[in-house]
C-alpha cells in the first residue's frame, strides 16, 4: 500500500485529494467529508475510516477536499458545486486509472453530496454514513446502498433517517449508543463497511 496527495482540475479550479493505493485495484472509491462550514475536511476521522475500509477491500481509495477547503479552489456551494467537483474527480480518476468499478461513500454533508452523485452515475457500492437528511433535500437513491447511523446522533436524528429510508425500502444499520461522529466506535464502523462489501 502507498498513500499520496494529488490535485485534479474541477469546475471551480483545483481539487485537493488524498489516495490510499492498494497496488492491485479492484475499483475506485470516492469518499466525501462532512460540512465544510463546520470544520469538515478530508482528514475527518470518519472520512479516513471510510477510506481505510475501502483500501482493505482493495479499492484505490480517494478522499478530497470540497471547494474552499484546504488547497481546493472555490467557495462553499450548498452541495451543488460540491457534487460537480465529485463528478469531475471521478472522471479524472477514470481517465488516469481506467474504467474500474466505482464506489461512493460519504459522511453527513458528504452523504448528501454522494446521494446526488449516485443519481448521476452507476456505482458498484454506496455507503452513506449519517447522511444529512432533514438538513438538506437528500434525493432518493435507487441503487442498493449501505446506511449506517448512530442511535444517539445529536446532529441528524435517527428518526429523520428512518423517514428518508422507509419509503425507499432501504435497510438501516444502527450502532446503539453511537453519536454523530462515532466517537469510540470507528473500528466497529470500519468492520461493518468491510464485512458488508466483502465478496
Determine how many CB atoms are found less than 10 A away from the CB of residue 89.
20
Question: How far is Cα 21 from Cα 61, in angstroms, rounded to an integer?
Answer: 6
User: If you count DSSP H runs as helices and E runs as strands, how many of each does the chain have, helices first?
Assistant: 5, 8
Residue holding cell 437528511?
133
CATH of the domain at 120: 3.40.50.1820
Task: Decide the pairing of beta strands 13-21 and 2-10.
Answer: antiparallel
Residue 199: predicted pLDDT: 77
Question: How far is Cα 159 from Cα 157, in angstroms, rounded to an integer?
Answer: 5
For residue 157, what are the CA distances in angstroms to 20, 130, 152? 32, 9, 8
* DSSP three-state, residue 143: coil
What would the DSSP string read from start to end of 72-138? --S---TTHHHHHHHHHHHHHHHHHH-S--EEEEEETHHHHHHHHHHTTS--SEEEEES--BTTB-P
* Cα four-point dihedral sign 79, 12, 14, 23: positive
Question: How far is Cα 150 from Cα 157, in angstroms, rounded to an integer?
Answer: 9
H-type alpha helices, 8-79 = 45-56
* DSSP three-state, residue 19: strand
Name 34's Cβ contacts closer than 8 Å, sequence gap at least 6. 40, 44, 46, 47, 107, 108, 109, 110
If one counts the domains in the chain, the total is 1
Residue numbers of the domain that contains 159? 2-197
Q: Which of 37, 11, 27 is nearest to 62 (CA)?
A: 27
Residue 147: predicted pLDDT: 98
Residues (pLDDT < 50) of the chain are: none
Amino acid at each position: 500500500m502507498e498513500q499520496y496527495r494529488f490535485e485534479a482540475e474541477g469546475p471551480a479550479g483545483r481539487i485537493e485529494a488524498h489516495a490510499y493505493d492498494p497496488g492491485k485495484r479492484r475499483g475506485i472509491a470516492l469518499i466525501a467529508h462532512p460540512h465544510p462550514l463546520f470544520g469538515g475536511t478530508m482528514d475527518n476521522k470518519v472520512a479516513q475510516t471510510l477510506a481505510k475500509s475501502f483500501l482493505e477491500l482493495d479499492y484505490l481509495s480517494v478522499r478530497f477536499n470540497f471547494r474552499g477547503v484546504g488547497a481546493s479552489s472555490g467557495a462553499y456551494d450548498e452541495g451543488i458545486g460540491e457534487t460537480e467537483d465529485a463528478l469531475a474527480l471521478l472522471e479524472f480518476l477514470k481517465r488516469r486509472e481506467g474504467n474500474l468499478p466505482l464506489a461512493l461513500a460519504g459522511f453527513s454533508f458528504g452523504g448528501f453530496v454522494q446521494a446526488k452523485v449516485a443519481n448521476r452515475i452507476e456505482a458498484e457500492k454506496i455507503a452513506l454514513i449519517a447522511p444529512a437528511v432533514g438538513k438538506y433535500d437528500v434525493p432518493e437513491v435507487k441503487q442498493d446502498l449501505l446506511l449506517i447511523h448512530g442511535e444517539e446522533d445529536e446532529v441528524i436524528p435517527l428518526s429523520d433517517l428512518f423517514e428518508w429510508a422507509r419509503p425507499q425500502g432501504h435497510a438501516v444499520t444502527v450502532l446503539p449508543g453511537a453519536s454523530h461522529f462515532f466517537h469510540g466506535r470507528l473500528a466497529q464502523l470500519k468492520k461493518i463497511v468491510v464485512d458488508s462489501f466483502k465478496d
